[in-house]
Structure 1
Amino acid sequence: MANSELTVEEVDVLIVGGGPVGLITAYQLARNLPRSTHTIKIIEKHAKSAQDQYGRAITIFPRSTEMLDQLGLADSLAQQCFACRETANYDKHGNEVPGRGWAFMRDMKDTKWDFALVLRQKYQEEIFRTAMARQGVQLDAPYALTGIEVREDVMPGGYRVLATIEHGETKVKSVVKCKYLVGADGGKSFVRRAMDIPFDGSSSEDKWVRIDGVIETDLPKPRAYCAIESPTHGNVLWVALDHGATRIGFAFTAERQKAYKEFDEEAAVKEAIASVKPFSLKFNQVDWWTIYVVGQRIARSFFVHDCIFLAGDACHTHSSGAAQGMNTGMHDAVNLGWKLSLVLQGLAKPHLLYSYQAERFPNVQRLINYDKDISRLMTMQLPEAWTGDPNADPNEILGTVMAEAGTFSSGLGIYYEPDNYLSISQATDLSLVQPGQRAPDVSLQKPATFEPTRLQTETPNTATFYVVLFAGDVKLTKPALASFTKTVSTLPWLQDSEAPIKCMSIFAGPGGPSAYDTIGGIPFGRVFYDENHSAHLRYGIATEKGAIFVLRPDGWVGTVLELDEDAGGKLEGYFGAFLNVVFPDSTKGVS
């Protein structure tokens, strides 16, 4: 059948790949975009039943959970997860050695989600699909992408992409015309290959095995995140899973491979038992196992032709040594989701989309640099660039490297470089928390009821920016507050009820009967109290001065301003760089 005879469907965004990255991207777009004017389509080449295996990714670290919380997804994950706060590291004799392996997980503080949320991908995807369906989008499977044509004669923002898809069973083909296409289709991405995007990096000779099941053991702390320093199987991973299961992961060295003509489930069980010696291990049930080659690769471009994105494993692959694969993909999905939502609604300028690669690429490169060292050390090899003692114990060096990478691995230390665009430094000495850094989640109190709440609860990710006024001690900041309120009262984004910007004030000290009485006028946006000054203290803001923070939709700090008469103009300049803000002659009311 000629292309002209194929059924043609028009959508705003086609997402290829029904794993966590694709599902979270689709969910955000469906949640943020009006159904009456925008259409999202997501396809997966495997039938749902074929995808219901266990295995695959398991661990969500605190920053990823915070982002999912702001999307309204974390509570459902917490219902089923194994919340892992305990770690242990055992040497080859079975003695516990503190400070090695996964010890950094004990220091994942400064967050409500201060644990590793362990839930197998099978269950995660069920939650994400259900949430996406509530927003009116179903996963279409089995459909494979078989061709992509980018129409250069169509301006960016138009239906520029012609995607040919094929049903996995009937083999019937159809065409999807879309404005944007997101390739979240894994390490062997068809989208990446069809666009001829180089995938730089290499694969090693190392092979790793992962096996999940219900077990019996004499390991002292079986329901924890453990490492066992095996002389034959490297730094062995032991993770307590959801639903009472356990994952064992180990290096399958060339020497061990010689014993097997064929590596099957029986062999995986046998090697798992050997890997955890001197502890005993018995599998009562095997849910899943796999063997794979370790490598680190990164796509040269994450965004091409002004209309095609790569996300997750489609644009970066690495070992599972530091359990970062899915977390990194979630960061991709969240970063892309709000930006694409705003551009599709005409609320942001299209060049905002270029910040996706600008922000994500350096962080992926940081991960790969860590991963190269971690994956080698886990196979009892020193890092390639190692210049220290050639006889050093890889287990000891691994503990040091994982500790150094701890805030990055937890996600709480992931940052975006100042760029004079989205992360602008305008008052560097004003606070501890700087533009490009995560906005710490702090405890607050609501007015009147003094009900406790949290900053992230009050700043959900709905593709909305939040201008947060830390008002300090009103007795001392009242003149500055009055000056600021006067200068911002006529700004465009306050005149447009549809502008993707919301305002809130946080007052230091206990709440009174009325915020109006407290400041002698109408407050700036929604009101919250910082009763014991802990929020101001965490942000490093002097209560006698106050400060203004712009929080991005994804929970990173956009800019920080002094509380003075110049703040209004600086806010207008910040938002004006990437938002399509209407001007004061708008007939819409003040939000």
Structure 2
Amino acid sequence: MSGTAPIVEHVDVLVVGGGPVGLITAYQLSRNLPSPHRVKIIEKHHKSAQDQYGRAITLFPRTSEMLDQLGLADSLAQQCFACRQTVNYDKDGNECPGRGWYFMENMKDTKWDFALVLRQKYQEEIFRQSLRHHGVELEAPYALTAIEILDNVGPNGYKIVATLENGNTKLKSIVKCKYLVGADGGRSFVRRAMNISFDGSSSEDKWVRIDGVIETDLPKPRTYCAIESPTHGNVLWAALDHGATRIGFAFTAERQKAYDEFNEEAAVKEAIASVKPFSLSFQQVDWWTIYVVGQRIARSFFVKDCVFLAGDACHTHSSGAAQGMNTGMHDAVNLGWKLSLVLQGLAKPDLLHTYEAERLPNVQKLINYDKDISRLMTMQLPENWKGNPNADPNEILGKVMAEAATFSSGLGIYYEPDSILNITQRADLSTVKPGQRAPDVVLQKPATFEPTRLQTETPNVAKFYIVLFAGDVAKTKNLLSAFSISVSDITWLFENDGLISWISIFSGPGGPSAYETLGGMPFGRVFYDEDNSAHQRYGIGVGIGTVMVFRPDGWVGTVVELGDEAAKKLENYFKTFLLLKGGIKL
């Protein structure tokens, strides 16, 4: 059978890598793309036999919000350790308020106001099960061994020829696909095969991470904790799911001299030394690792108009700020809805270029923060430090982490205004601008008045939401009337429910009928802002109202005024990136 031609399979998207980033990318595509679109995801290793517990552990609020809008966060919350408390100890075991991970206690303005701690093993199990529910199974062990890009293939054609090898049988097969997503980690085959430079450097610093079930006299063990060790740097102590704990510390060159071989026994011994003056003993060790600290970023995240990189495949950094998986999730969510719309012919292919344009600057911010944080955690001042050369690195670390707080929580991550997705049309209508996260706010449903949340009502299903903050209808009635007349001729705004959905938010307590409150049929689903807190959070006057467009991923796309100009501005916004839908030309 050695001469038999390889099996050839045709799919829309091949996702390479079965970690969280690959799984979330494939999940979105499988959920959003109707039949006969096909998604395939492969992984080089048997997931059950790869890593038992280790790697990433922490999801910050914005990541949890995004996963909530994908329908996944509740399952994570069932198993997680929800960490809202932090503590910082100096070398003598005294508490030092306001240092270390203290910023985590101020992650507000969200239902998910905590660190969701759940080891990657358990997260992946949830993601695989959810993916399976949409008819896609992670295929392992399959390695990608070659990529060929065909030049003579037209739009929406199978431009990529990928060669796969079964890890068990060594048999090769061919997958022809329209797009390929490399989510295959820091040693990405996809990145190397596409000759994409991976700029950056590795340091001389080594860090150790060890997970297990412990006994200790540390006063607050079920927290996100930092211990300012004179021998092991700024030690991480993180309460984990299922009653476990992670200890992380710098393994200095001086400490390394004591070991010819660094094994589990050595990792336990150093962990015990790192948390002095507190005692520590391990009842069981689940996982441990030692690694070199460095920062690298790919020169491009999207090449040949068909190959993407996401997660560690396009950026690696230390675990000092606990941002690795969070940043990869942001990549996956940013890419997922855009690729879904382009594959369905609903959006222009140019939309895909906004993936790199939006994600790369934010990854660069992370790299810059991480360089400083990782050095400070190893008791070194930042490379370009211009302050007191004798400054305490622990004190400076607290300031840097506080400065990076809204970025680290993800709630402050924004995309710059542009001419495609984040378009500024009126800057004075809302304090929330295009390119910024759309804050989650409490609303009331009509008739029952039961509470709900805006993000609950705007799930990420590759759909845009036109959110009409109608204000006080008694004051905005004329503006609403002018707006209604202006949009009445643009039927595609209402006939594309699979692509655009409407929500109306009235300020004040709800009446017995939304129709009677408005004096006519409202736009889309109606919710009440009983105490005006939603309008206040968005900085929208109840006397003038405002129209906002939410992108599928929960960022604001554009903001326009109520009135007779609104329809034209909405039309102009959507026409920058949308295509045909049901024969209606935008």
The alignment's TM-score, normalised by the length of structure 1, stands at 0.98
* Deviation by residue 1:261-285 (Cα, 9 ceiling, x = unmatched): 0000000000000000000000000
Asked whether the 8 Å contact 2:494–2:501 carries over to 1, the reply is no
d(CA) in 1 for partners of 2:229 and 2:184?
Answer: 35
Alignment of 1:258 with 2:257, yes or no, is yes
* Deviation by residue 1:446-500 (Cα, 9 ceiling, x = unmatched): 0111110000000000000000000000000000001101111221423533551
Partner of residue 589, structure 1:
none
Alignment of 1:542 with 2:545, yes or no, is no
Partner of residue 123, structure 2:
124
* Deviation by residue 1:391-444 (Cα, 9 ceiling, x = unmatched): 000000000000000000000000000012101111111111111100000000
d(CA) in 1 for partners of 2:83 and 2:11?
Answer: 41
Letter in 2 for 1:66: E
d(CA) in 1 for partners of 2:467 and 2:50?
Answer: 43
d(CA) in 2 for partners of 1:336 and 1:186?
Answer: 17
Partner of residue 144, structure 1:
143
Partner of residue 20, structure 2:
20
d(CA) in 2 for partners of 1:299 and 1:491?
Answer: 43
* Deviation by residue 1:502-545 (Cα, 9 ceiling, x = unmatched): 00100000111111111111101110000000000000000000
d(CA) in 1 for partners of 2:422 and 2:189?
Answer: 33
Partner secondary structure for residue 455 of structure 2: helix
d(CA) in 2 for partners of 1:15 and 1:169?
Answer: 20
d(CA) in 1 for partners of 2:312 and 2:584?
Answer: 47
d(CA) in 2 for partners of 1:86 and 1:511?
Answer: 38
Partner secondary structure for residue 236 of structure 1: strand
Letter in 1 for 2:156: G
d(CA) in 2 for partners of 1:585 and 1:452?
Answer: 37
Q: How many positions carry a matched residue from both structures? A: 585
Q: Which runs of 5+ in 2 are unaligned?
A: none
**Cα 1:585–1:281 shift into 2, 3 Å:** closer
Deviates more, 1:324-333 or 1:155-164: 155-164
Letter in 2 for 1:155: G
Asked whether the 8 Å contact 1:492–1:584 carries over to 2, the reply is no
Partner of residue 564, structure 1:
563
Deviates more, 1:153-162 or 1:210-219: 153-162
d(CA) in 2 for partners of 1:167 and 1:584?
Answer: 44
Alignment of 1:450 with 2:449, yes or no, is yes
Pairing 1:74-153 to 2, within 5 Å after superposition: 74-153=73-152
Asked whether the 8 Å contact 2:486–2:563 carries over to 1, the reply is no
d(CA) in 2 for partners of 1:492 and 1:163?
Answer: 43
Partner of residue 553, structure 2:
554
d(CA) in 1 for partners of 2:120 and 2:154?
Answer: 38
**Cα 1:420–1:293 shift into 2, 3 Å:** same
Partner of residue 340, structure 1:
339
Asked whether the 8 Å contact 1:207–1:291 carries over to 2, the reply is yes
Letter in 2 for 1:514: S
Partner of residue 468, structure 2:
469
Pairing 1:166-565 to 2, within 5 Å after superposition: 166-497=165-496, 499-565=498-564
Asked whether the 8 Å contact 1:151–1:162 carries over to 2, the reply is yes
Report % sequence identity.
Answer: 77
Asked whether the 8 Å contact 1:85–1:105 carries over to 2, the reply is yes
**Cα 1:396–1:316 shift into 2, 3 Å:** same
d(CA) in 2 for partners of 1:12 and 1:398?
Answer: 46
Q: CA deviation at 1:51?
A: 2.6
d(CA) in 2 for partners of 1:298 and 1:153?
Answer: 31
Asked whether the 8 Å contact 1:491–1:584 carries over to 2, the reply is no
Letter in 1 for 2:30: A
Q: CA deviation at 1:49?
A: 2.2
Asked whether the 8 Å contact 1:490–1:584 carries over to 2, the reply is no
Asked whether the 8 Å contact 2:494–2:500 carries over to 1, the reply is no
Partner secondary structure for residue 308 of structure 2: strand
**Cα 1:585–1:425 shift into 2, 3 Å:** closer
Asked whether the 8 Å contact 2:440–2:454 carries over to 1, the reply is yes
Letter in 1 for 2:181: V
d(CA) in 2 for partners of 1:481 and 1:125?
Answer: 47
Partner of residue 8, structure 2:
8
Partner secondary structure for residue 458 of structure 1: coil
**Cα 1:585–1:122 shift into 2, 3 Å:** closer
d(CA) in 1 for partners of 2:519 and 2:355?
Answer: 43
Asked whether the 8 Å contact 1:148–1:161 carries over to 2, the reply is yes
d(CA) in 1 for partners of 2:4 and 2:510?
Answer: 67
**Cα 1:294–1:323 shift into 2, 3 Å:** same
**Cα 1:3–1:518 shift into 2, 3 Å:** farther
Q: Which runs of 5+ in 1 are unaligned?
A: 587-591
Partner secondary structure for residue 456 of structure 2: helix
**Cα 1:353–1:4 shift into 2, 3 Å:** farther
Deviates more, 1:49-58 or 1:107-116: 49-58
d(CA) in 1 for partners of 2:572 and 2:76?
Answer: 39
The alignment's TM-score, normalised by the length of structure 2, stands at 0.98
* Deviation by residue 1:155-192 (Cα, 9 ceiling, x = unmatched): 24210000000000100000000000000000000000
Asked whether the 8 Å contact 1:499–1:581 carries over to 2, the reply is no
Give the alignment's Cα RMSD to 1 decimal. Answer: 1.3
Pairing 1:49-64 to 2, within 5 Å after superposition: 49-64=48-63
d(CA) in 1 for partners of 2:422 and 2:205?
Answer: 40
Partner secondary structure for residue 290 of structure 1: strand
d(CA) in 2 for partners of 1:585 and 1:126?
Answer: 42
d(CA) in 2 for partners of 1:450 and 1:488?
Answer: 29
Partner of residue 33, structure 2:
33
Letter in 2 for 1:428: A
* Deviation by residue 1:361-382 (Cα, 9 ceiling, x = unmatched): 0000000000000000000000
d(CA) in 2 for partners of 1:581 and 1:397?
Answer: 54
Deviates more, 1:560-569 or 1:263-272: 560-569
Partner secondary structure for residue 65 of structure 1: helix
Partner of residue 45, structure 1:
44
